[in-house]
Amino acid sequence: MNKKKLLNSSDLYVGLVFVLVFLLLVWQISTITVKESRIFPSIAASVVGLSGIFLLIKGLRHTDEKAQKLIIGGKQWLSFLVLFLGYLAYSRLGFYVTLLIVVFCVSLVNEFPLNKKKIVSSLIYSLIVTVFCFVCFYLILGLYTPSGILI
């Protein structure tokens, strides 16, 4: 594969991002003081890390002429901004409130252009995800999530 095709491979870039996210998750997991609360994040980090390694290998070995080019548009940058702001708000607002806000905002970004029906469906989806996480983490697994000012 020539250098130009390699630099245009979306798999390579996405794999690099996954590996960086994996490293960030490992660092974040090391700050969790309750050992039982590290189980799910460790599994998630492992999946992200392995996916990143496989994508890197695929991106480096990909010789197909139809390799997808990496295109990052406004929606993607806005989603990254929402995730970053969610990360900053996490310690103040707590896990569930931050999850609700981030899922809602990312849903709105993906549903753009907006109308009343899309806003309501994004809100309902965000509430379902948040309740599902509460049931799984707190009620079923008995794990405490970081709390903040609101919850």
Residue 136 has pLDDT above 60, yes or no: yes
**So what's the pLDDT on residue 2?**
54
Whether pTM exceeds 0.85:
no
**Percent of the chain surpassing pLDDT 70:** 85
Mean pLDDT value of segment 114-119: 87
Q: Give the model's confidence band at 131: pLDDT under 50 very low, under 70 low, under 90 confident, else very high.
A: very high
Burial of 96 (0-12, 13-18, 19+ CB in 10 A): buried
**So what's the pLDDT on residue 75?**
78
Residue found under tokens 């899922």 = 103
The CA distance from 89 to 71, in Å, is: 28
Q: How far is CA 24 from CA 49, 60, 110, in A?
A: 10, 23, 25
The CA distance from 12 to 123, in Å, is: 34
Residue 23 has pLDDT above 80, yes or no: yes
Residue 150 has pLDDT above 70, yes or no: no
Mean pLDDT value of segment 121-134: 91
